[in-house]
Chains A and B, each alone.
Chain A
Amino acid sequence: MKIADKNTKAVDLVREALEKAKEYEDYHCFISMNEARALDRAREIDEKIARGEKVGRLAGVPYALKDNYLSREGVTTAAARMLDNFPSPITSTAVAKLEAEGAIMIGRANLDAYAHGSSTENSYFGPSHNAVDFDRVPGGSSGGSASAVALGIVQFALGSDTGGSIRQPASYNGVWGMKPTYGTVSRYGVVAMASSTDVMGCFANNAEDVDLVMSIMAGKDPKDSTTLDNFWTRELEDAKPKKKKIGIIKDFLGDGVDPDVVKTIRDYAAKMKKNGFEVEEIEMPIMKYGLAIYYIVQPAEVASNLSRYDGIRYGHRASDITDLDSVYSKTRDEGFMPENKRRIMIGNFVLSSGFFDAYYLKAQKARTLLINAYNEAFEKYDALVCAVAPAPAFKFGEKTNDPLQMYMEDVMSVPPSMAGLPALAAPAGISKDGLPIGVQLIGPRQSDQMLINIAKTIAEAK
């Protein structure tokens, strides 16, 4: 990470980032820029350095903020019409912690509206583009963040991950993306999607940067009662001498998985073996149900969380309406994207009387079976490895006509989410068409740093 000091001016770091953002404007990584304020902050940091005062661990480092994090700097839209006029009255805990260490937000990154999607094609403001292939999606929902890091506009970016929204775009753009253990980073001040699996994480270009950013954001927050004490204390170390045992999830190497993806994972496994890890294949038949579990539980929580958008207290309100019921229903029709509506309606379907037991309760029981399967696997293995998504980045429009096809994107990334486990996406290979392919490392609760250690060790190994 390039940090401001006596020789490197924060203003130059920020200017460079803003210039690059302009250069890559066509990629639509950002919904809005934070230019004036970013430069002001950079000058403040430079003055501090000149006076010999202490500055933070991220002094002058420009970053992109997924636009579902609230920050008093500007408007937080969540890429939805519902919030396109919403000036955040508060700042999220994650942002406050980064700013306290001197990081500088240069712009708000694009996403699928309310983080519902796997391509940014559900953004009210239009999609972002893949950093490697302009004609392809950057993945989602945190697509703008991933693309901005991959294009070299910023050194890191924040994302949120409910079922793969950090890992899949990281894989699609060839960068690192960390979905930490549930509760690692406060959710306070981030637009809620599915509260039992929402986690806040980051994108960066290497293991050290991921580790640094996560270590700053992690920790207990009284404003989010599900947060854990900061367990992010150890230094990164070489994982090789530890003789870690790795399980390759066999169920994700079969039908429906792109041959280039399968090859990438097999090559990665071979590289691990060559470097002293003990590697075996493991069968986890419950995995094939992960997606169905997720697309019951998540919409149910979405339906509940998005019920707050009423057109009354904040955000968009449909105009020319004289009765209260229509304020709600017309506002919600106008303010939500089609995918938001589908999820809300599916959520209300699985929660409605008559279907609750068959769907919602069933899924939460199946979730227990999934967690049990992981627990059993971790008795034998230190970490599990599989791909992030079944194929590399797809072309615009390829999956927009069939929401279920879009959901299939998440088949490998949702299981760890349902179990609250840490999962790291790291660049691992390139497809025949030159598209990046990522590997996913999954570990027991709070083994986040071990995963980073392992991935770093393999990234540096021959």
Chain B
Amino acid sequence: MAITREDVLHLADLSNISLSEDQIEPLMKDLDNIVGYISQLDELDTEGVEPTYQCFDMQNVWREDVIEDFEANREDLLELTVESEDNQIKVPKVL
């Protein structure tokens, strides 16, 4: 198996997901299958081919640096948070 238990834990860490023990084994199997499948691109010769990140070859789209009304106001947005105080979002202690 190409994907090890350590790989799963490392990817969970990169993904900021804390996995319970029972999730690890199935993920090893599933991720291994998926990685096995997508590895078939090795067969394709892509020497000298440019990658496509955006289908329509769009470049940066600029706009004026002015404040625009996006419908949502501060009260609405603060309302969505679990905790807020004095117009600030509260988070648990970092240190």
Q: Which residues of A does B touch, CB under 8 Å?
A: 86-87, 89-91, 182-183, 196-197, 222-223, 225-226, 289, 291-293, 295-296, 303, 307, 311-315, 317, 321-324, 326-330, 332-333, 336, 338, 341-342, 344-346, 348-350, 352, 358-359, 361-369, 371, 402-404, 407, 418-420, 445
Contacts and interface: CB of A to CB of B under 8 A. Distances in A.
B56 to A, nearest CB: 6
Contacts of B72: 89-90
B89 A420 contact: no
Interface string B1-26: 00000011001101111111001001
Contacts of A407: 34, 37
B17 A332 contact: yes
9 contacts: A89-B79, A289-B44, A295-B34, A313-B89, A322-B92, A332-B15, A332-B16, A365-B46, A369-B46
A212 to B, nearest CB: 26
Contact of A368 (B15, B38, B50): B50
A443 to B, nearest CB: 14
Given A89-B77, A89-B80, A403-B30, A330 B18 contact: yes
Nearest to B60: A225
B40 A292 contact: yes
A313 to B, nearest CB: 6
A371 B52 contact: yes
B15 A303 contact: yes
Given A326-B18, A352-B14, A346 B49 contact: no
B54 to A, nearest CB: 6
B49 A420 contact: no
Nearest to A420: B55
Contacts, number: 173
User: Which one of A197, A348, A402 has the greatest number of beta carbons of chain B within 10 Å?
Assistant: A348
- Interface residue range, chain B: 35 or more
Interface of B: 7-8, 11-12, 14-20, 23, 26-27, 30-31, 33-35, 37-44, 46, 49-56, 58, 61, 63, 68, 70-72, 76-77, 79-82, 89, 91-94
A351 to B, nearest CB: 9
Contacts of A359: 38-39, 41
A403 B30 CA distance: 7
A109 B81 CA distance: 25
Contact of B50 (A296, A365, A445): A365
Contact of B34 (A183, A346, A445): A346
B38 A292 contact: yes
B31 A349 contact: yes
A364 B51 contact: yes
B33 A345 contact: no
Contact of A196 (B41, B54, B71): B54
B33 A402 contact: yes
A407 to B, nearest CB: 7
Nearest to A183: B56
3 closest A-B pairs by beta carbon, nearest first, are A420-B55, A364-B51, A329-B18
Given A348-B15, A367-B51, A87 B56 contact: no
Contacts of B76: 89
B6 to A, nearest CB: 13
B41 A312 contact: no
Given A345-B15, A403-B30, A369 B80 contact: no
Contact of B52 (A323, A345, A346, A364): A364
Contact of A366 (B27, B44, B89): B44
A314 B89 CA distance: 10
